[in-house]
Structure 1
Amino acid sequence: MNNKMHATALRSDIDKALDILHAGGLILYPTDTIWGIGCDATNAEAVDKVYQLKGRAQSKSLIVLLDSENKLQSYVSEVPEVAYQLIEYTERPLTIVYSGAKNLAPNLLADDGSIGIRIVNHPFCTPLLQRFRKPIVSTSANISGQPAPRNFSEIAQEITNGVNYIAQYGQDDHTEGRPSIVMKLEAGGKFTFLRK
């Protein structure tokens, strides 16, 4: 596929995903780690659909994606300065759990009011987030308790049947994705690794 045709196909793919996100539906999409189930992170009803599809307890919070660290302050009460350095210097995708989440669907947050946020750099996710202008939920595309799919071909039919749109981009990429590093960052800048 030549570049111009590729760009048109990608734009059309993103347009369709955006329509679903705006309508409160669920998308299945590639991220900088593994394939994810996504929805508007500010829409509690959409978030509820994600929990139902995964069969996941609401006590287990989900993470959200943003396209730029400049947007963190819109969703976290106080962003510790060290967060920006961690994001800038990390080699692998990094999800940071911040306390004091705000402007997000309440059913996304952990019991202590924290939220995991990852800044993505990805050919599909980044333009999708830029155009949506809100954070998007990302949770592994599997039924809760089952192994996370390492690429599109491993996603269970229950999941593909349960979403409103499946991104075309990345379906034929068989590289094995890896989940992100997860760390919890306290307001004072102290951090602990939850997943390396």
Structure 2
Amino acid sequence: MDIIGKAVSVLMHDGIVIYPTETVYGLGADAFSDEAILRVYEVKKRPLAMPISIAVSDFEMLNAVARTEPWMQEFFEAFLPGPVTVVLPARKSVPSILTGGTGMIGIRIPAHPLALQLITQFDAPITATSANLHGAKDPRTPDECTILRELLIDGGRLPGIPSTVVDLAGKRIIRSGAGVDRVAQFLLSH
């Protein structure tokens, strides 16, 4: 079994996988399993009131977990896949623990072949928080990924600049990160 097959098996059993993205290493668990999500909060030492983003493999999966408006399609096509997390109203299928009680969910479509392959083969969203302790430095190399997990997918050294987080409905940038200038220009012009 290849590494992606092993990772899918771990996810199917509520385990945690560290995976590479085009920004930093992510901490992946089944985004529809309360047990797996609680483990992510636990190993990160992240407060339960703080939302956790999810990663999807395509626009169909994005629309299954979030409510979108037609005008947003242009943004999605311009920035996804890529180093941007879009915050959108969550559908009822999304566990409320992921939204931190806000009713909103952060969603990424990573522009990294291993991440996309993992999500595609798992055929469901996974968590997309950085693979570090809450508040610690974002991990760029496998050696910097010290979080407890069942499996790490080695993607070598990554850029280390986290994604830009955008509240798309509110047309505002929540966190500046990779590609923030392009995102800001888009939001100003729309």
How many residue pairs match? The answer is 175
Alignment check: 8 A CA contact 1:47 1:105 kept: no
* One-letter amino acid of the structure 2 residue matched with residue 192 of structure 1: R
Matched, 1:155 2:145: yes
1:81-100 matches, within 5 Å, as 81-90=70-79, 92-100=82-90
- What SS does the corresponding residue of 1:61 show, helix, strand or coil? coil
Structure 1 position 142 matched with structure 2 position 122: no
Matched residue, 1:38: 28
* 1:66 counterpart residue number: 56
In the alignment, is the contact (CA less than 8 A) between 1:99 and 1:185 conserved in 2? no
3-state SS, counterpart of residue 183 of structure 1: strand
RMSD: 1.7
Name structure 1 gaps, 5 residues minimum: 1-10
CA distance in 2, matches of 1:120, 1:165: 19
**1:146 partner SS:** coil
Q: Pairwise mapping of residues 159-178 of structure 1 onto structure 2 (< 5 A)?
A: 159=147, 162-167=148-153, 169-170=154-155, 173-178=156-161
1:116 to 67, 89, 106: 106
Distance 2:162 2:92 in 1: 25
Of all paired residues, the percent bearing the same amino acid is 31
Which residue is equivalent to 1:193?
173
Name the SS of the counterpart of 2:75 in structure 1: helix
Q: What is the distance in 1 between the residues matched to 2:84 and 2:132?
A: 20
Normalised by the length of structure 2, the TM-score is 0.85
SS at structure 2 position matched to 1:124? helix
Looking at CA atoms only, which structure, 1 or 2, has the larger radius of gyration?
Answer: 1
TM-score (norm: length of structure 1):
0.83
Residue 79 of structure 1 is matched in structure 2 by: 68
Q: 1:135 to 1:58 in 2, by over 3 A?
A: same
Report the residue type matching 1:182 in the other structure.
V
State whether residues 22 and 159 of structure 2, in contact with CA within 8 Å, keep that contact through their aligned partners in structure 1.
Answer: no
Aligned-partner Cα distance in 2 for 1:33–1:110 = 24
Instruction: Output the CA distance in 2 between the equivalents of 1:112 and 1:174.
Output: 34
Secondary structure in structure 2 of the residue aligned to 1:81: coil
